[in-house]
Amino acid sequence: MKYIFFLLVLAANITFANDMYWSKTGHRVVGEVAEQHLTKKAKRAINDLLEGESLAAVANFADEIKSDRAYRKFSAWHYVNIPFGKTYDEIEKNEYGDLVQGVKTCLEIIKDKNSSKEDKV
């Protein structure tokens, strides 16, 4: 349950992030709050993957890489546009993916025992 809460907080952080309103501090606060709701097992796993970095410390990663050409294929994973009065299931999906698909893909990678540490990070 705490894992799901973490993902929801992370998704809300990414979805509603706007540098004018959130800034780096806002992202870091959400990372800190999410970390406080993790199980001990999840904290250990994240600590191992991030080599001691906290979620607060890495919370700005998506913003920092979005202009890097090496990560251009993941740009659409930074957001999802849902018109007022619609649900995610009702909208036409972006052919390049979106935040929801990105989270699903990342979860698959994290759960896959054959995924490299680099891919999991």
Tokens representing residue 42 in the block: 């999840």
Residue 18 clears pLDDT 60, i.e. is over it = no
Cβ atoms 35, 43 nearer than 8 A: yes
Supply the DSSP string of 4-28, one letter for each residue. HHHHHHHHHHHHT--TTTTHHHHHH
Domain ranges of the chain: 2-120
**Lowest-pLDDT range of 59-63, 98-102, 115-119:** 59-63
Q: Could you report the per-residue pLDDT of 58-98, keeping only the tens digit for each?
A: 988 888 887 789 988 888 888 899 999 999 999 999 999 99
Closest CA to 17 of 98, 79, 105, 92: 79
pLDDT-derived band of residue 4, with 50, 70 and 90 as boundaries?
A: low
Q: What SS3 class is residue 62?
A: helix
pLDDT of residue 17: 47
User: Is the model's pLDDT at 9 over the cut of 90?
Assistant: no
* Residue of 93 and 3 predicted with greater confidence: 93
* pLDDT of the residue at 19: 47
Q: What is the pLDDT of residues 34-60, one digit of tens each?
A: 999 999 999 999 999 999 999 999 988
Distance CA 95, CA 76 (A): 9
Q: Is the dihedral of CA 72, 116, 93, 98 positive or negative?
A: negative
